[in-house]
Amino acid sequence: MQTPSLSKRSFLKLSAAAGVAGAVGGMAAGPFRALAAGPEPRPGGQVIVGISQEPTVFNPLMPGSEYDQGIWWQLFSTLWYIDADGTIVPDLAAELPTVANGGLSADGRIWKIRLRKGVTWHDGTPFTAHDVKYTLDLINNPDFKVRNRVGHSLLRNVTVIADDELQWVLAEPFAPYMSVLSLTFIVPRHILGKADDPNTAPFNTAPVGTGPFRWGERRAGELVLLEKNPAYHGDGPYLDRVVFRYIPDQTMLYTQFRSGEIDYLGLSGLQPAFDAEARALPDRRIVAAPAPFVEHIALNHGFAPFADKAVRQALYLAMNRKARLEAIYHGRPIETESYVPHGHWAFDDGLPKHSHDPAAAKALLDKAGWLPGADGIRQKDGVRLAFTNSTSAGSQSREQAQQLLKQDWREIGVDMTIENMPGAVIWGEFWQKSQYQSVMVASNFLQGSDPDVTPRFSSKAIPAQGGSGLNTYQYRNPEVDGLLERGSREMDQAVRRKIYQRLQQIIREDLVFLPVSQSVIVEGVKAKLTGYRPNINASSNCWNMRHWFWAA
């Protein structure tokens, strides 16, 4: 689909006023619109959310998973968020900054934010512009263990003008910043600002926010309970409480959904083996929604064998990807070669298609000097082509996929050992500090809905090497660094598309990771639970629980 070229001024107007679906890069969510219709909200009751991984990170600025984000959306607020239609909706901000209303300079560098009045923190303290400034300053504090500084690092002269207004300057135009801020939760200055060390503050285990629900309690290994915030500044919440129940065994998770003990089974979704039975359950809705997550085999380029491109190519050729998706996932996922979801304006559908060719894989390894040893496992210069693969323990479909992958790679003389662990362990420093060799994982590479992937592939975003970001692959490429810089500064969407399509081509050519599929998450919800609405612009479909309620 052709997209008209946008001037810099037009881009800034559109990105802030017309929503990200066309201007910043959101994807329309037409199939989900009908889910928003329903009866008038009724207050009361609770919802029990069944999840397979335990939330453990409650400071929303620190590195966490989509399971943690499910909690963050309830406790905290952003300046604005992106809804299921791809529209930017003001939250703590009174309005979206645009050139027309004086909130943005024509060159995109000066931002003036007007805040909603009358907002309070859960402890009753008034929310002010000082909290926003503190949050942005904390993100850029080099001693703080932040999730991501991309975009924020460009901030200069963050100035509080009044309790309900602040201003900042960007060192240079940064097209994705509107989207970055849609996922930047604001934290309280009056609490964290008094902590000796924000990294270890009591706040991190008993958070205080401005969101629709307040912290109740956490029972480690069991649940997190949140209570209604009666002073919430927006619509809702209608529920009295929300319980996130952690059940790592996905068979047990489904069993409790089937019996009615769980009201919403999301995030990890229904396992394919239960799909047919679940659709026949009375008083349930089963929703299949394409998600921005891309399932892939993450390779640590700091592990010597994976630094050899021939090894990465051979592993990809040896994967019987299509057969695995059919056998285990019943053909649900969408095969992909890119980290950008299908349907996104930046998606490149011309990337080389995967082929299953073990003979070609063997020939590649032979040519690269990886020759079979006495035990059949290839080696080069005394190094065996052997490595571990990890994923979250208890994920039956992934564990089955690992077994098939192990067989595929054993056929070409590669030894893969399975080494799984609980989600709270694997997605901690093991993943964040690149302590793994290979991991089976699904990641959302977008920033909100923007295709900027600086946190994922920039050489400055490698946590294990002192960088701030999510490049746990430890991948370095000067051309990629240059394209990332150009893409973040460019305001013309047509030009940005070309930049990001070139990036996709390089990432696919280099096989930074081995792409498998774009996720289609099948979630289950009780029929009378109203307001649930999948959102491809968020990493958790719990994003709008403030609007959920039980119909009569």
The pLDDT tens digits of the residues spanning 246-299 come to: 999 989 999 999 999 999 998 878 888 898 899 999 999 999 888 888 999 999
The confidence band for 135, taking pLDDT boundaries of 50, 70 and 90, is: very high
How confident is the model at residue 15, as a pLDDT?
A: 39
Please check whether residue 12 is in contact with residue 98, taking contact to mean a CB–CB distance below 8 angstroms: yes
Nearest residue to 173 (alpha-carbon basis) of 110, 97, 103, 81: 110
Look at residue 331 and tell me whether its pLDDT is greater than 90: no
Residue 19: predicted pLDDT: 33
Tokens (6 digits) for 213? 């629900």
Residue 189 has pLDDT above 80, yes or no: yes
CA distance 176 to 191: 30
Whether omega for the bond prior to residue 4 falls within 30 degrees of 0, making it cis, is no
State the average pLDDT over residues 207-224.
97
Position 31 pLDDT exceeds 80 = no
Q: How many CB atoms lie within 10 A of CB 161?
A: 12
Q: Is the pLDDT of residue 14 over 60?
A: no
13 or 117: which leads in pLDDT: 117
For residue 26, pLDDT beyond 60? no
| Percent of the chain whose pLDDT exceeds 90 | 76
Structure tokens at 21: 């679906």
What band does 396 get if pLDDT is binned at 50, 70 and 90? confident
pLDDT band at residue 7, thresholds of 50, 70 and 90? very low
| 178 pLDDT above the threshold of 50 | yes
Q: What's the whole-number mean pLDDT along residues 294-307?
A: 97
- The letter for the amino acid at 86 is G
Q: Which burial class, exposed, middle or buried, applies to 324 when counting CB atoms under 10 A from its CB (0-12, 13-18, 19+)? A: buried
Q: Given pLDDT bands bounded at 50, 70 and 90, which one contains residue 33?
A: very low
User: pLDDT band at residue 301, thresholds of 50, 70 and 90?
Assistant: very high
Enclosing H/E stretch for 358:
helix 358-367
Tell which residue, 328, 301, 487, 351, has the closest CA to residue 402: 328
Residue 3's pLDDT band (cuts 50, 70, 90): very low
Q: What is the mean pLDDT of residues 507-527?
A: 95
Give which of 328, 339, 335, 462 is closest to 397, Cα–Cα: 328
Instruction: Return the pLDDT at 469.
Output: 86
SS3 279: helix
Which pair of structure tokens corresponds to residue 137? 């300053």
Q: Is 403 helix (H, G, I), strand (E, B) or coil?
A: helix
Whole-structure pTM value: 0.73
Q: Which of 433, 462, 442 is nearest to 392 (CA)?
A: 442
H or E segment at 444? Answer: strand 438-444
Reported as a single tens digit per residue, the pLDDT across 336-362 is 999 999 878 899 999 999 999 999 999
Helix (H) or strand (E) holding 501: helix 493-510
Cα 318 to Cα 309: distance, rounded to the nearest angstrom:
14
b vs e for 359-386, b when ≥16 Cβ sit within 10 Å of the residue's Cβ?
A: eebbebbeebebeeeeeeebbbeeebbb
Does the pLDDT at position 454 exceed 50? yes
CA pair distance 343, 336, nearest whole angstrom: 12
* pLDDT higher than threshold 60 for residue 48: yes
User: How many whole angstroms separate alpha carbon 90 and alpha carbon 75?
Assistant: 17
Confidence (pLDDT) at 38: 59
Average pLDDT over residues 171-198: 94
Q: Which of 456, 447, 495, 490 is nearest to 474 (CA)?
A: 456
C-alpha torsion sign, points 544, 393, 291, 260: negative
- The neighbouring-strand residues paired with 392 are 421
Please count the residues of the chain: 552
Q: What is the Cα–Cα distance from 106 to 95, expressed in whole angstroms?
A: 18
pLDDT at 8 over 80: no
Select from 94, 192, 210, 102 the least CA-distant residue to 146: 192
Per-residue pLDDT for 409 more than 50? yes
Mean pLDDT value across the chain: 90
- Of all residues in the chain, the percent with pLDDT exceeding 70 is 93
List Cβ neighbours of 344 (8 Å cut-off, separation of 6 or more): 25, 27, 446, 449, 451
